[in-house]
Chain A
Amino acid sequence: MGCHGAIGGDSGNGTGNGPGVGTGNAGSGVSGVGTGNGGSAVSGVGTGNGGASGGSTGTGAGGTGVVTLPNSALQSGPLLRLANYEFMNSLNDILGFTPDVVLEPDAPSTGDFRIGGPAGDNTVTTYHTAAMNIAAQALKTLATIEPCYGTAATGAAAAQAMCANTIASDLGPKFYRRPLDPAQLTSLNGVYSTIAGKYGFQTGVQALLEALIQSPYFLYHLELEEESMGAGAAGMQKVAVTGYSMASRLSYLLWGSTPDSTLMTAAGMGQLTTTAQIQAQATRMLADQRVVPGMRSFYEQWLKVLDLPTSKVKNPVTNMDYGTLYSPAVQTSLRASFDAQVDAALWGGGDTIKALLSGSDVYVDGNVASIFGVTGVTGTQIQKVTANAAQRAGIITHPAIMSVFATDTSSHPIKRGVFFWDKFLCNPLPNPPPDVPAFVPPPPGQSLRQDFEIMTAMGSCPACHSRINPVGFLFEHYDSMGYYTNTDSNGQPVNSMATVFGTNDPMLDVATTDAVQFAAHLAADDSKVASCMVNQIYRYAMHRHEFDGDAMSLASLTDAFNNSGRSVKALLAGVTQTEAFLNRVNVP
């Protein structure tokens, strides 16, 4: 009987056995994309051996391995493309609508957050298709942001060319996140005039928009002014990131999107140079409501709710019809409920970690109230109510998370355990070993927990499962959708009692009745979760896993976080003052 056979269907959803787990080899990974141990399938960046070409399609872009500047928190990484959420958010800010296009999926960073990896044929094809669709849609509303587009449509050719120049001059710097140089403007005007000459004004502008969307100046996180200092240099150089590059760093970190005009103006005036100036902008941005949707990009990745399954199945034993209950409307409301609860924890002004780990306030509408065991809520407006405190504690028992780490028909204690160790304790478990014994269906009449206990007792399984299983079993009261239940998916009574093992924390490594009590233990001694959250935000900000050189930065961030009463705003402001955020290392 084996450890890693799926049981009872497999709604899957990466449990931390994928990217980000194997960090040990990151230093030899290809340009810091992918984990270097081959676990990060999606990145498509080959495995290990940084200097190698990394696969027959030449995906080993960069050709240079990750380089660390001695005695610093600086690591070289490859030039990153915009992640898809950055691409979408940026276009929304520039053009005023969120495009409905399909892009190539992002790659995972070594820190298990999404980044834009090296581009290949399919990347180019999908950008090309997306640009056509976005430009066509943008024309419909372009006159509201570029008034001349409406008036010039019926005007003379010269007026139309002037309008195209106006559009290029205005949108160009927004797309490229730095001023256009004259050659770029000439080139964009050339696109317009070539096409408009044959097919008219509107088609010319459409081509101009497509050109902006497919330019590498839009698609890549260029730190051009800083990186160009290193071109041709003999050795590694530490370079302060300022100006337009810093405007983008701040904006994509805090708002998940392109810089606003204030940042661009400050950059242009040389006012994004000193750490105080950078801190002042960060403070301004953190006071802006845009930080709320902006940081959603962080926590939806951290807590894996992007992996919310799109369907479930009726459980044939208990007859719980998840196929029907887990409707698209419920999925949408679950996500809204999750966002509302995390937003309240992050921005409510109190101790973020305590708010994430405790409290029975939940945010529900009529679609999902019953999942939380709440009655009397109808309609589709999310509202705050109090759930049974014996059943819900903070975000960790939220049905969205429970639904992700489950199968189509049942809970999944292994997935939940692995998730918790990785994302709340920053103590990831390794991938399953290659010698996992074959799966043998469990005998009927025992609980799901017993099935897993037997399966994971074999061979070398206990080395990890002694840590994974107890934490996972604590969540056994939450079924495939996060309903609280006393009957498991095998129709057997739930036993959620477990003795947590392996945290080396005497307050946590104790006999625990269930997830609610576990949350109370964590909240009583929440330093572990707090420092893990600091690490997670740092990984998100730096697009990589932390390494030894980051130790001082992380220690001071953790202090700042704790001393501010666990304010996420203070933590984010602190991140903008770290060595790794303020500088880059140039490699020749």
Chain B
Amino acid sequence: MAATRPRPLSPHLTIWRWGPHMIVSILHRATGIALSLAGLALLTWWLMALAKGPDAYATFEKAAHSPIGLIVLVGLTWSFFQHLLSGIRHLVMDSGAAFELGVNKTFAILTIVGSVLLTALLWAWQMGARP
């Protein structure tokens, strides 16, 4: 019966050929969620620890300097830069620009290159070069 025939579904993740634009789109959402939940929780904890005084801040520092703490912090700084750069890309595209295939692809790749580079620079500075 025609009435029971399954209706066509709109295409989802599995049907598209993967490309930089797709990865960056997914990363924008994933990093946004990470920053919203882990990032803001950490920022709030950090401010509270500072307000409470040196003892509370020592607890925060101990967690931040642990291996897991460092992984979280590096992950969040990368998330920040990735979300910032792909956010700029979104603002440009909101204006109607950068939809040409080549430009769009290059821009998408640049956000990933930029976020990794900025994260590496930040941690190099933090770990060694800070005056």
- Same complex for A and B? Answer no
